[in-house]
Amino acid sequence: MNDLPKIFDDFSEARRNSFIKVKEYKDAGEHIVGTFCTFTPMEVIYAAGAYPISLCGMSDETIPDSERDLPKNLCPLIKSSYGFALTDKCPFTYFSDIIVGETTCDGKKKMYEYLNEIKPMHVMQLPQAIDRKHALSVWENEIVILKERLEKEFNIEITEEDLREAIKKCNEERRVLKELYALGKMCPPPITGMELHTVLHGASFTFDKDEQNKNILNMVEELKKEYEKGVRKVEKDAPRILISGCPTGGVADKIIPIIEANGAVVVCYENCSGIKEKSRLVDETKDPIEALAEKYLNVGCSVMAPNDNRIEMMSELIDEYKVDGVIDIILQACHTYNIETRRIKNFVTGEKGIPYMSIETDYSQADEGQLKTRISAFIEML
């Protein structure tokens, strides 16, 4: 397993390395499109010959700056993202030609109005439910409008063939990442939850997806070989945890090590930055716009009401990954996920019969001691 540590290092450094790479791309005349959410149809951006990059803030460094314009009792992800744009401390925002957002939560929706004063914004009007016949046609129209905006912005034409090629490209990345996710189904898994998060997080900041896919497949193969030789990083009886809820980027280093220091292992991430968007492929046999609309509209996000897709996915994941307990991570003031905790708790403890806990937190370290106590007690109960 000589090469494995370096591969992990590469992914842990992916975000920092991409700071340099994004400037190189801009200097070479390439187009950069900033994104915020898993509802963004990345295929349309790739079809436009541009590169998507996530702008979600993951640090409390710029939150005081953002609070000059935004309320203090707002989601830390929104405040951090806006703060980095406001202070020019994020090279991804700085070098973005245009930023694409969606009307998911109200906080983001209103923040985009201020962000539009800093960078060109394109906001997709997301239907808030999928149980209406018109929802799919609305999202199809929104994807067409995005396509037309990028064509105008970059003075290009996006053809049907461009979209089909981009769909194949993104589906291939999803297949590869699902190979990585599948390691968590093994008992015990050959990879820790923190290592898994490191790779997933790093993958969102890589521009060369072919190289990324090759590295991940090599990593999976190497891990399986070592596993067959008897190498174990995780205890056989370690409680198996599924992480659900909000994006973990800004709190992963605070929460996941506590979970695993107490003898458990995170085997699956159901949240926005995890398997949620990658689990379903885009149908390559259909009209590209229709196929993209169907795929992205069915992301099981809490902004949807009702949000049955999240329940269905959690049921599948709990069974497939042999989950012993669910930890629902809620960012402060994320009202949709916070309100949904009752339904998730009832489903997990009632229908699936396993323990559940909800954590509401922000990007600061102020609650670290409390989290250690609560998480330790939860895992001890398992």
pTM exceeding 0.75: yes
Minimal CA–CA distance to 272: which of 300, 233, 295, 294? 300
Contact 103, 336 (CB under 8 A): no
**Spans of the chain below 70 pLDDT:** 1-8
Q: CA quadruple 349, 353, 354, 355: dihedral positive or negative? A: positive
pLDDT, position 272: 83
The string over 74-90, giving b where at least 16 C-beta atoms fall within 10 Å of a residue's C-beta and e elsewhere, is: bbbbbbbbbbbbbeeeb
Domain positions in the chain: 22-160
121 vs 239: CA distance, rounded Å:
44
pLDDT, position 1: 40
> Cα 231–235–240 angle (5° rounding)?
120
Minimal CA–CA distance to 167: which of 277, 279, 291? 291
pLDDT, position 8: 64
In CATH, what class is 22-160? alpha beta
pLDDT, position 330: 97
Give the relative orientation of helices 160-181 and 288-297 as an angle to the nearest 10 degrees: 30
Give the relative orientation of helices 193-203 and 160-181 as an angle to the nearest 10 degrees: 170
H helix count then E strand count, the chain: 16, 8
pLDDT, position 176: 97
pLDDT, position 19: 87
